């Protein structure tokens, strides 16, 4: 009879053959998958963002494909001065797939910041695939560059953080403004430092201050201001970063 509650009960809509399931039954697992995928995406983004500093403990930096050598002030002929050519030769022999770049710097006798930083970006193309080897003024330039740009690593040879008593250094612009030590550390995959206890131009206190603030891997040597033709200690330590 119409309205008889004792008759056969209708099957639930979701179980009828050919019926469309309720929306909630379909969307719940989809929502879970979407949430999981979103979480994975966020984790991947976080890992990529942390890449420059993730290996700050000195592990191998497999993403580095270039080494750029930034010389000291007045060392204009990079092919003949200091250890630059020998370092390139050693890296090329051990790491044939790694590009080594060194060029005559603009304003090479004064090494002003306003000339060097744009050149490092526009001409030397230093980025997060690049390890900077900076010597003297070049080391100061490497530190300032890493304040704003992520790099694969920096190797500081005879660095300083003040102009000391040198008039040319005071006019260079490198020492204007506070040092952003935290930014340098965070933007650098690793930091190695080579300093001499007998450096005739830079007192040890300058070297030590840089090492203390950057938590650099410090190599303490007796090689003056590193105006030397061969520097196997640097080459060996740098090559190990790729192994």
pLDDT per residue as tens digits for the range 198-218: 999 999 999 999 999 999 999
Q: Which two tokens stand for residue 59?
A: 């592990």
Element (H, E) at 26: helix 23-49
Query: How is residue 67 written in tokens?
Result: 């080494």
Amino acid 63: pLDDT: 77
* Closest among 212, 196, 215, 192 to 204, alpha carbons compared: 196
* pLDDT computed for residue 28 by the predictor: 45
Is residue 199 annotated as part of the catalytic site, yes or no? yes
User: What are 180-190's pLDDT values in tens digits?
Assistant: 999 999 999 99
Catalytic residue among 61, 135, 136, 137: 136
Say yes or no to pLDDT of 9 above 80.
Answer: no
To the query of whether residue 225 is one of the catalytic residues in this protein, the response is: yes
The pLDDT of residue 55: 40
Rounded Cα distance between 193 and 134, Å, is: 10
**Model pLDDT for residues 139-169, shown as the tens digit of each residue:** 999 999 999 999 999 999 999 999 999 999 9
Q: Which of 198, 197, 237, 239 is nearest to 217 (CA)?
A: 237
Q: Which residues of 184-205 are buried (b: 16+ CB within 10 A; e: fewer)?
A: bbebbbbbbbbbbeebebbeee
Would you call 216 a catalytic residue per the annotation?
Answer: no
The secondary structure of residue 56, as a DSSP letter, is T
Q: Is the pLDDT of residue 15 over 50?
A: no
| Identified catalytic residue from 135, 188, 199, 216 | 199
Q: What is the pLDDT of residue 38?
A: 58
Q: Give the other-Cβ count within 10 Å of 219's Cβ.
A: 17
């Amino acid at each position: 009879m119409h309205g008889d509650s004792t008759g056969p009960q209708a099957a639930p809509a979701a179980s009828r053959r050919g019926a469309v399931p309720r929306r909630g039954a379909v969307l719940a697992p989809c929502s879970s998958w979407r949430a999981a995928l979103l979480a994975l995406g966020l984790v991947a983004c976080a890992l990529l963002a942390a890449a420059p500093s993730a290996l700050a403990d000195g592990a191998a930096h497999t993403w580095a494909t270039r080494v750029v050598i930034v010389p000291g002030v007045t060392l204009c002929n990079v092919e003949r001065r200091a250890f630059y050519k020998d370092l390139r030769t050693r890296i090329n022999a051990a790491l044939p797939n790694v590009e080594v770049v060194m060029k005559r710097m603009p304003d090479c006798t004064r090494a002003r910041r306003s000339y060097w930083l744009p050149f490092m970006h526009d001409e030397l193309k230093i980025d997060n695939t690049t390890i900077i080897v900076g010597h003297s003024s070049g080391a100061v330039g490497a530190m300032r560059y890493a304040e704003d740009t992520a790099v694969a690593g920096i190797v500081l040879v005879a660095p300083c953080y003040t102009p000391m008593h040198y008039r040319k250094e005071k006019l260079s612009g490198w020492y204007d403004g506070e040092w952003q030590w935290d930014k340098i550390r965070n933007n650098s995959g690793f930091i190695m430092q080579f300093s001499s206890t007998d450096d005739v131009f830079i007192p040890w206190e300058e070297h030590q201050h840089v090492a203390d603030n950057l938590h650099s891997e410090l190599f303490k040597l007796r090689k003056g201001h590193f105006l030397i033709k061969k520097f196997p200690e640097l080459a060996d330590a740098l090559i190990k970063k790729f192994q």
